[in-house]
Amino acid sequence: MKKFFFLLFAVSVFGVMSNAQVLFEENFDYTVGSLLTANGYDAHSGAGTNPQTVVTPGLTYAGYVSSGIGNADVVNNLGGEDVSKTFALQNVDGTTIYAALLVNCNDASATKTGDYFFHLGNRASATSFTQFCARLNAKITAAGVVNFGISNASTAGTQVYSSVNYATNTTYLIILKYVINQAGNDELYMWVKDAGVPTDEAAAGTPDAAQTTLTGVDTLNAFGLRQGSSANSVSVIVDGIRIATSWSDMIGAAVPVELTSFAANRLEGNVQLQWQTATEKNNSGFDIERKTESTDFVNVGFVKGNGTTTNTSSYTFVDKNAGATTAYAYRLKQVDFDGTVSYSKVVNVSAGEIPSVFALAQNYPNPFNPTTSIIYSLPQSGVVTLAIFNSLGQKVKDVVSGFQEAGSHTVHISASDLSSGTYIYKISVNGLSLTKKMVLLK
């Protein structure tokens, strides 16, 4: 088993192989209307002014591994808050960093001279991010027409734009390639795709823009989403960000073993990890790795795999040594019988016992037969109702009905009395409601 294949309906993917690495994946799978700064982002500039928020729906692009999973972010043209997140430090000469993201220009302006809205770089701290490279630009050349470009320096006039014009209100897959050259100019390339996901650089064809005559930075550890001023900047919707050190990991190339879900939640003072595979090949098992903001990943446990199987397999691991007041990041290190390893995407767990937002997780496993679990979080205490409805909107089962304290809660459901089909489960508390779908297969 070399790496993991990502199903389009899934929420997670194994994508690191040997010395290659998925550095970051962002699907904006957060509560609509919540601030990015409430979901792990740092405001390194203009904090609180036109704060960036989660919007719905997310962007879709056929064949792309991070298509249509969560919601999206609007990087507007009003100026104000710029946000960023870090990834594993990259500072070795010759290292290539790839970034892919879905972009949809929703700006109705007749013309805009353009500015950058996404960039990689070296972030000194959560509030100091001034060393940029691999900047992605957008400009409006006419009403309904957008052009994308790149720049490797902060100097005005260094942008290189594609010779191709694109349409506003259309989703494109944009791929960036950045090569560290500690002895000279760093290399930056851009591809803009309106259909298809190239399996490698050769399949991608000639870059739409290239910049190889400027010095960028030779140490990269973060990416940023920037909101420029209305005079120059273009409003765009961003989704499906993937940053990796290989092309195949960046696009989530199809590989033999399928991971269909991976999630982490606080549960009764501990952290519970849950994941599911659709098939496995030569899978010895999974090392569980955990890190904090100030530490590297360390091994905290191991779960035995199922070798080679075409059956769905569900896994659970409870980290009983996780501190209640510490935020953690987790990943799975899948190990083959021959010692080959692959890494999952990283999932995060916030600090504190009391959740900051009202949230309803996807039931696990899903599809299920006949039992499944649902995790939800309550930022405030209240009278909670959780019920299951059929496709006609008729209630078929009451799950929870009563007062519950603020915190994370898990309920286990048996649907042995229900028929196969798609159901909706709905939770309500303090005037708020959330719904999700579940599938029962008997």
Residuewise pLDDT in 10s, the chain (442 residues): 434 433 333 333 443 333 346 788 899 989 999 999 999 999 999 999 999 999 999 999 988 888 888 899 999 988 899 999 999 999 999 999 999 999 999 999 999 999 999 999 999 999 999 999 999 999 999 999 999 999 987 666 789 999 999 999 999 999 999 999 999 999 999 999 999 999 899 999 999 999 999 888 999 999 999 998 888 899 999 999 999 999 988 887 544 557 788 888 877 667 889 998 888 878 889 999 999 888 888 999 999 998 878 788 889 999 988 876 788 999 998 888 877 777 788 888 877 656 778 999 999 899 999 999 898 888 888 999 999 999 999 999 999 999 987 777 888 899 999 999 999 999 999 999 999 999 999 8
Could you give the C-alpha distances from 44 to 47, 125, 219, 222, in angstroms and in order?
7, 8, 18, 11
**DSSP single-letter state for residue 125:** B
Sign of CA dihedral 263, 104, 60, 196: negative
Q: Report the candidate in 248, 253, 233, 260 with the shortest Cα–Cα distance to residue 112.
A: 233
Report the pLDDT value the prediction gives residue 381, as an integer from 0 to 100: 86
Which letter does DSSP use for residue 58 in this model? P
Q: Are 156 and 98 in contact (CB under 8 A)?
A: no
Instruction: Please count the other Cβ atoms lying within 10 Å of the Cβ belonging to residue 106.
Output: 13
pTM for the whole structure: 0.58
Q: Write down the pLDDT at residue 194.
A: 96
- Tokens 């909670």 belong to residue: 384
- Beta-ladder partners of 242: 25, 100
pLDDT of residue 54: 95
| Residue 234: both structure tokens together | 């273009």
What are the φ/ψ torsions at residue 203 (nearest 5 degrees)? -70, -25
CA distance 281 to 293: 33
Residue whose C-alpha is closest to residue 428's, from 381, 384, 389: 384
Strand partners, 113: none
Select from 63, 82, 136 the least CA-distant residue to 105. Answer: 136
**Amino acid (one-letter) located at 400:** V
Contact (Cβ atoms closer than 8 angstroms) between residue 97 and residue 90: yes
How are beta strands 328-336 and 298-309 bridged, if at all? unpaired
CB–CB of 428/384 below 8 Å?
A: yes
Q: Are 122 and 220 in contact (CB under 8 A)?
A: yes
Give per-residue burial for 397-414: e unless 16+ CB within 10 Å, then b.
bebbeeeeebbbbebebe
pLDDT score, position 66: 86
Asked if 265 and 114 count as a contact pair (C-beta separation under 8 A), the reply is no
Structural domains for the chain? 22-245 (2.60.120.200), 257-349 (2.60.40.10), 359-440 (2.60.40.1930)
- Report the relative pairing of strands 257-267 and 4-6 from DSSP bridges: parallel
